[in-house]
Chain A
Amino acid sequence: MSLTAEQVRNVARLARLGLDDGQIAEYASDLSNIIDVFSTLEKADTDAVEPMAHPLGLSARLRADTPAEVTQRDDFQALAPDTDAGVYRVPKVIE
């Protein structure tokens, strides 16, 4: 199966990757080759098989709703590219 440039452009948009036309063409070829490999899955009869999301079949563990950690806002914000008075700064969203 061959992916078109348009399909790859759509996937890149979903993944928020800003790619130029040259990169789109390269990825179209790479992704097509990889997705071809997936055709082996069609051979498997899975009509009666439940999907497996987790290797141990565990369900989410519950815990008491008690505060456990102190706020580390300053530590975390020290890592951010742009902060101001405790908030993260991004380009203007609302005109």
Chain B
Amino acid sequence: MQERSISDLMAARAAGELSAADLADHFLARIQCLDGDLNSLVSICGDSARERARATDAGDVENATGKLAGLPILHKDIFCTRGVRTGCGSRMLDNFVAPYDATAVAGLNSAGAITLGKTNMDEFAMGSSNETSFHGPVANPWNTSHVPGGSSGGSAAAVAAGLAPAATGTDTGGSIRQPAALCGVTGIKPTYGRVSRYGMIAFASSLDQGGCFARSAEDCAHVLQSMAGFDPRDSTSVERDVPDYSAALSGDIAGLRIGLPQEYFAQGLDPASRAVVDAAIAELEGLGAEIVEIGLPHTELAVSTYYVLAPAEASSNLARYDGVRYGHRCADPVDLDDLYTRSRAEGFGREVQRRIMIGAYVLSAGYYDAYYLKAQKTRRLIARDFSEAFDQVDLIAAPVTQAPAFKLGEKLDDPVAMYLNDIYTIPANLAGIPGMSVPAGFVDGLPVGLQLLAPWFEEARLLNAGHAFQQATDWHTYRPPGFE
């Protein structure tokens, strides 16, 4: 059943071959027997999922005929889910039971999707390996001594292992695309503002964007359709119609101009991964796309720009965790300052503390102009690179990462090495453009992704290019051994 596409599963349910209860039972059983080695889930909603599935089958819920009625789904533990612990990978929120649903979750609920559980993640989405989680690291199903990527590592690993047909994620600097690449699944980060940030726990508000993971671009189109759209409760949500993503999947990319940014193929890219990406690009060319070399000359500024701006925004966003209204509170505080400083020291892990302090530093008197203001300016240079590139091309193709998944523990104590990992994914967040990763092959048994980037609000073009690639290749159908 875990092999079947979402449209196939939905059609089978509509035809009475499968019930929502069958779907929930099947995937809950897989979670039960396969997640032990992965640690991809932090909460399992077995009872509520079975109950909702029964109600869906009985036609007792409003959305029993929704487009995704009965579809089992997992949510990254950064999305608020009413009545379910929403811990964001942190001790700080380990006791936080969300009093409302995130808009993206509500959208999927009203399409009829059924939440099976919440997925593990880097603490407050800060990490590229899913090792900073309060709940411990997630293992990559392709090789359990390797990382799944991060920060949405639990969602990527769970979809790769067939624990659910789809999962939600968020991408602030690559946190959907990078784990999708490292786990061999399809993941899309929409344009900034396309999916509401309401109820999505904030990390860096000018960069955060919700999206999803699934086994194919076609499946992602179905899931994204129910997440995207204007939300008056998010002041940066964009008031713009959402096209029919599935209808855009013609599979035809003849004549599409695809740019290859030379900066993404320079020093640092592992030759074996490059060969996989080159072959994928040749495949796109074979499908009629026109391949054009382009330049994104300010790429080398991206990592520094991001690691000034994202921590600055994080230090501000995470100021709300004060031990007063919700979240962790230290025992027996002697005064208000002790309450704040001890609750925060105990509640936040090392990487989060590191980033809060970088943020506080770059925003502090005497350093603001040299770092924060400077990075806001270099951000514009990076965004401008993309608008100029998209004057010449319709899409950009590139690697997602410099190499396949590294080993658990390999970079954990070297934050700079961990940050430099994100070089190919960060620029899209700084510019706000949509991006996706599609499985493109393997190096030493570990998946390699192809990154596709589109102009602002051209998710449909992105999904169609991914779909065309997946019609011509079968990389997205490979399953990790032991998780078939």
Residues of A within 8 A of B (CB): 3, 7-8, 10-12, 14-19, 27, 30-31, 33-44, 46, 49-56, 58, 60-61, 63, 72, 75-76, 78-82, 88, 90-93
Contacts and interface: CB of A to CB of B under 8 A. Distances in A.
Instruction: Say which size band chain B's interface belongs to.
Output: 35 or more
A49 B307 contact: no
Contacts of B334: 91
Contacts of B415: 30, 33-34
B335 A17 contact: no
A41 B381 contact: no
Contact of A33 (B96, B333, B416): B416
Given A34-B307, A35-B358, A93-B336, A56 B456 contact: yes
Q: What are the 5 tightest A-B residue pairs by CB atom distance, in nearest-first order?
A: A55-B432, A18-B341, A51-B376, A46-B377, A81-B329
Interface of chain A: mostly helix, strand, loop or mixed: loop
7 contacts: A34-B358, A51-B373, A76-B325, A79-B99, A80-B324, A80-B325, A82-B329
Contact of A90 (B324, B374, B419, B456): B324
A38 B420 CA distance: 12
B430 interface: yes
Contacts of A75: 99
B364 A14 contact: yes
A90 to B, nearest CB: 6
Contacts of B326: 76, 79-81
B206 A44 contact: no
Nearest to B420: A37
A39 B303 CA distance: 11
Contacts of B304: 37-41
Interface string B291-319: 00000001011011101100000010001
Contacts of A43: 301
